[in-house]
Amino acid sequence: DRSVKIAPSILSADFADFGREIRAIEDQGADWVHVDVMDGHFVPNLTFGPPAVKAFRRHVTTVMDVHLMISPVDPYIDAYAEAGADILTAHVEAGAHTHRTLQAIRAAGMKAGVALNPGTPAEAVEHLLDLADLVCVMTVNPGFGGQRFIDMTEKVRRLRAMIGDREVHIEIDGGVDTGTARRVVEAGADVLVAGSAVFRGGSVEDASVYGRNIAAI
Protein backbone atom coordinates (compact mmCIF):
# COMPACT_ATOMS: atom_id res chain seq x y z
CA ASP A 1 0.00 0.00 0.00
CA ARG A 2 1.78 3.10 -1.26
CA SER A 3 -0.78 5.66 -0.09
CA VAL A 4 0.83 8.42 2.00
CA LYS A 5 0.74 7.67 5.71
CA ILE A 6 1.25 10.22 8.48
CA ALA A 7 3.20 9.08 11.53
CA PRO A 8 3.24 11.77 14.23
CA SER A 9 6.25 11.51 16.53
CA ILE A 10 5.29 11.66 20.19
CA LEU A 11 8.73 13.11 20.92
CA SER A 12 6.98 16.47 20.59
CA ALA A 13 3.93 15.46 22.68
CA ASP A 14 3.17 16.46 26.27
CA PHE A 15 5.31 13.98 28.24
CA ALA A 16 2.96 14.21 31.21
CA ASP A 17 -0.02 13.00 29.19
CA PHE A 18 0.91 10.48 26.52
CA GLY A 19 -2.40 8.63 26.63
CA ARG A 20 -4.36 11.75 25.78
CA GLU A 21 -1.84 12.83 23.14
CA ILE A 22 -1.93 9.45 21.38
CA ARG A 23 -5.73 9.44 21.37
CA ALA A 24 -5.78 12.97 20.00
CA ILE A 25 -3.49 12.27 17.04
CA GLU A 26 -5.31 9.02 16.21
CA ASP A 27 -8.69 10.78 16.41
CA GLN A 28 -7.34 13.37 14.01
CA GLY A 29 -6.28 10.82 11.43
CA ALA A 30 -2.75 9.66 12.28
CA ASP A 31 -2.01 6.43 10.39
CA TRP A 32 0.88 5.32 12.58
CA VAL A 33 2.32 6.48 15.92
CA HIS A 34 6.08 7.08 15.75
CA VAL A 35 8.07 6.47 18.95
CA ASP A 36 11.65 7.82 19.11
CA VAL A 37 13.90 5.75 21.36
CA MET A 38 17.23 7.46 22.17
CA ASP A 39 20.04 6.20 24.37
CA GLY A 40 22.29 9.19 25.06
CA HIS A 41 25.09 7.33 23.26
CA PHE A 42 24.17 6.77 19.61
CA VAL A 43 22.49 10.19 19.74
CA PRO A 44 23.02 12.98 22.27
CA ASN A 45 19.58 12.70 23.86
CA LEU A 46 17.72 10.21 26.05
CA THR A 47 14.02 9.27 25.82
CA PHE A 48 12.03 6.08 26.39
CA GLY A 49 12.87 2.48 27.22
CA PRO A 50 10.80 -0.70 26.84
CA PRO A 51 8.50 -0.14 29.88
CA ALA A 52 7.45 3.30 28.57
CA VAL A 53 6.88 1.91 25.07
CA LYS A 54 4.78 -0.88 26.56
CA ALA A 55 2.64 1.74 28.32
CA PHE A 56 2.14 3.65 25.02
CA ARG A 57 0.94 0.39 23.46
CA ARG A 58 -2.17 0.44 25.65
CA HIS A 59 -3.29 3.61 23.86
CA VAL A 60 -2.17 2.94 20.29
CA THR A 61 -4.93 1.45 18.11
CA THR A 62 -3.16 1.98 14.77
CA VAL A 63 0.45 0.94 14.18
CA MET A 64 3.26 1.50 16.68
CA ASP A 65 6.36 2.46 14.71
CA VAL A 66 9.41 2.35 16.98
CA HIS A 67 12.55 4.14 15.79
CA LEU A 68 15.61 3.00 17.71
CA MET A 69 18.43 5.53 17.92
CA ILE A 70 20.46 3.23 20.12
CA SER A 71 23.64 1.20 19.88
CA PRO A 72 23.89 -1.73 20.29
CA VAL A 73 20.44 -2.85 19.10
CA ASP A 74 20.43 -6.65 19.26
CA PRO A 75 20.26 -7.07 23.07
CA TYR A 76 17.01 -5.06 23.16
CA ILE A 77 15.05 -6.52 20.24
CA ASP A 78 13.04 -8.97 22.34
CA ALA A 79 12.20 -6.27 24.88
CA TYR A 80 10.67 -4.06 22.18
CA ALA A 81 8.75 -7.02 20.72
CA GLU A 82 7.43 -7.69 24.22
CA ALA A 83 6.56 -3.98 24.56
CA GLY A 84 4.32 -4.32 21.49
CA ALA A 85 6.21 -2.62 18.66
CA ASP A 86 4.69 -3.40 15.25
CA ILE A 87 7.64 -1.98 13.32
CA LEU A 88 11.14 -1.81 14.78
CA THR A 89 13.71 0.33 12.98
CA ALA A 90 17.45 0.19 13.61
CA HIS A 91 20.10 2.51 12.19
CA VAL A 92 22.54 1.08 9.66
CA GLU A 93 25.24 3.12 11.46
CA ALA A 94 24.46 1.52 14.83
CA GLY A 95 26.57 -1.58 14.38
CA ALA A 96 28.55 -3.74 11.98
CA HIS A 97 25.86 -6.39 11.51
CA THR A 98 22.62 -4.74 10.43
CA HIS A 99 21.88 -7.78 8.25
CA ARG A 100 21.73 -9.96 11.36
CA THR A 101 19.76 -7.30 13.26
CA LEU A 102 17.02 -7.13 10.61
CA GLN A 103 16.71 -10.92 10.59
CA ALA A 104 16.40 -10.91 14.37
CA ILE A 105 13.69 -8.23 14.29
CA ARG A 106 11.61 -10.29 11.86
CA ALA A 107 12.27 -13.46 13.84
CA ALA A 108 10.85 -11.67 16.89
CA GLY A 109 7.61 -11.13 14.96
CA MET A 110 7.93 -7.46 13.99
CA LYS A 111 8.33 -5.63 10.72
CA ALA A 112 11.92 -4.56 10.23
CA GLY A 113 13.09 -1.06 9.37
CA VAL A 114 16.52 0.32 8.61
CA ALA A 115 17.33 4.01 9.04
CA LEU A 116 20.03 6.13 7.38
CA ASN A 117 21.56 9.30 8.77
CA PRO A 118 21.81 12.24 6.35
CA GLY A 119 25.51 11.53 5.69
CA THR A 120 24.94 7.85 4.83
CA PRO A 121 24.47 6.97 1.14
CA ALA A 122 21.50 4.99 -0.19
CA GLU A 123 23.92 2.22 -1.20
CA ALA A 124 24.53 1.39 2.48
CA VAL A 125 21.20 -0.47 2.52
CA GLU A 126 21.29 -1.92 -1.01
CA HIS A 127 22.03 -5.45 0.18
CA LEU A 128 19.55 -5.26 3.05
CA LEU A 129 16.41 -4.57 1.06
CA ASP A 130 15.20 -8.19 1.02
CA LEU A 131 15.27 -8.13 4.82
CA ALA A 132 13.57 -4.76 5.30
CA ASP A 133 9.92 -3.70 5.33
CA LEU A 134 10.83 -0.03 5.67
CA VAL A 135 13.73 2.30 4.96
CA CYS A 136 13.78 5.44 7.09
CA VAL A 137 15.55 8.37 5.47
CA MET A 138 16.59 10.89 8.10
CA THR A 139 16.19 14.46 6.95
CA VAL A 140 17.78 15.83 10.13
CA ASN A 141 20.68 14.54 12.22
CA PRO A 142 18.81 12.40 14.75
CA GLY A 143 18.52 13.39 18.39
CA PHE A 144 16.02 16.23 18.60
CA GLY A 145 12.68 17.39 17.27
CA GLY A 146 12.17 20.77 15.66
CA GLN A 147 15.28 20.85 13.46
CA ARG A 148 15.50 22.20 9.95
CA PHE A 149 14.81 19.81 7.04
CA ILE A 150 17.87 18.60 5.09
CA ASP A 151 16.97 17.86 1.47
CA MET A 152 17.41 14.13 0.73
CA THR A 153 15.19 14.00 -2.35
CA GLU A 154 17.92 12.48 -4.51
CA LYS A 155 18.55 9.73 -1.94
CA VAL A 156 14.83 8.93 -1.83
CA ARG A 157 14.73 8.66 -5.61
CA ARG A 158 17.69 6.26 -5.67
CA LEU A 159 16.18 4.13 -2.92
CA ARG A 160 12.82 3.88 -4.68
CA ALA A 161 14.62 2.71 -7.83
CA MET A 162 16.72 0.19 -5.84
CA ILE A 163 13.63 -1.16 -4.10
CA GLY A 164 11.95 -1.82 -7.45
CA ASP A 165 8.87 -3.98 -7.02
CA ARG A 166 9.68 -5.08 -3.46
CA GLU A 167 7.15 -4.04 -0.81
CA VAL A 168 9.27 -1.63 1.18
CA HIS A 169 8.04 1.65 2.69
CA ILE A 170 10.20 4.74 2.47
CA GLU A 171 9.73 6.85 5.58
CA ILE A 172 10.96 10.43 5.93
CA ASP A 173 11.93 11.59 9.40
CA GLY A 174 12.85 15.11 10.44
CA GLY A 175 11.68 18.61 9.59
CA VAL A 176 8.60 17.39 7.70
CA ASP A 177 5.86 19.98 7.27
CA THR A 178 3.40 20.82 4.54
CA GLY A 179 6.15 22.66 2.67
CA THR A 180 8.75 19.87 2.65
CA ALA A 181 6.43 16.86 2.35
CA ARG A 182 5.45 17.18 -1.28
CA ARG A 183 8.98 16.88 -2.69
CA VAL A 184 9.81 13.67 -0.86
CA VAL A 185 6.47 12.09 -1.70
CA GLU A 186 7.02 12.87 -5.37
CA ALA A 187 10.45 11.22 -5.09
CA GLY A 188 8.88 8.00 -3.76
CA ALA A 189 8.38 8.31 0.00
CA ASP A 190 5.11 7.02 1.45
CA VAL A 191 5.43 7.50 5.23
CA LEU A 192 5.90 10.97 6.74
CA VAL A 193 7.01 11.31 10.33
CA ALA A 194 6.18 14.69 11.84
CA GLY A 195 6.80 15.83 15.39
CA SER A 196 6.84 19.57 15.86
CA ALA A 197 4.60 20.25 12.85
CA VAL A 198 1.84 18.17 14.45
CA PHE A 199 2.22 19.00 18.12
CA ARG A 200 3.55 22.55 17.89
CA GLY A 201 5.26 22.25 21.22
CA GLY A 202 2.67 20.47 23.31
CA SER A 203 -0.69 20.78 21.64
CA VAL A 204 -2.26 18.92 18.75
CA GLU A 205 -4.50 21.75 17.74
CA ASP A 206 -3.34 21.97 14.17
CA ALA A 207 -2.88 18.27 13.60
CA SER A 208 -6.11 17.73 11.72
CA VAL A 209 -5.44 20.56 9.31
CA TYR A 210 -1.92 19.33 8.85
CA GLY A 211 -3.09 15.76 8.30
CA ARG A 212 -5.57 16.77 5.64
CA ASN A 213 -3.00 18.85 3.81
CA ILE A 214 -0.58 15.97 3.73
CA ALA A 215 -3.20 13.43 2.77
CA ALA A 216 -4.17 15.64 -0.15
CA ILE A 217 -0.77 15.21 -1.81
**Is 211 near ligand DX5 (CB under 6 A)?**
no
Q: Which is nearer to Zn ion, 83 or 165 (CB)?
A: 83
**Is 140 near ligand DX5 (CB under 6 A)?**
yes
Q: Which is nearer to ligand DX5, 131 or 140 (CB)?
A: 140
Return the range that interacts with ligand DX5 (CB under 6 A); candidates 70-78, 152-160, 190-198, 207-215. Answer: 190-198
Query: Judging by DSSP bridges, how do beta strands 5-8 and 111-116 pair with one another?
Result: unpaired
The Cα–Cα gap between 187 and 48 comes to: 32
Question: Least distance (Å) from Zn ion to the CB of residue 165?
Answer: 27
- Length reported for the chain: 217
Phi, psi of 11 (to 5 degrees): -60, -30
Q: Which is nearer to ligand DX5, 102 or 176 (CB)?
A: 176
**Is 197 near ligand DX5 (CB under 6 A)?**
yes
Among 5, 6, 9, 53, binds ligand DX5 (CB under 6 A): 9
Look up residue 144 and give its amino acid.
Answer: F
The Cα–Cα gap between 84 and 93 comes to: 24
Q: Check whether 40 is labelled as a binding-site residue.
A: no
Question: Least distance (Å) from Zn ion to the CB of residue 145?
Answer: 9
Q: Check whether 169 is labelled as a binding-site residue.
A: no
**Is 12 near ligand DX5 (CB under 6 A)?**
yes
In Å, what is the CA distance from 78 to each residue of 57, 64, 95, 108, 159? 15, 15, 17, 6, 29
Residue 145, helix vs strand vs coil: coil
* Residue 169, binding choice from Zn ion, ligand DX5, none, Cβ under 5 to 8 Å by partner class: none
- What burial letters (b/e) apply to 42-59, b meaning 16+ CB within 10 Å? bbeeebbebeebbebbeb
Is the bond into 50 cis (omega within 30 degrees of 0)? no
Question: Least distance (Å) from ligand DX5 to the CB of residue 108?
Answer: 22
Annotated active-site residue 36? The verdict is yes
Residues flagged as binding site for substrate:
9, 67, 143-146, 173-175, 195-196
- Binding footprint of ligand DX5 on the chain (CB under 6 A): 9, 11-12, 34, 36, 67, 140, 142-143, 145-147, 173-176, 193-197
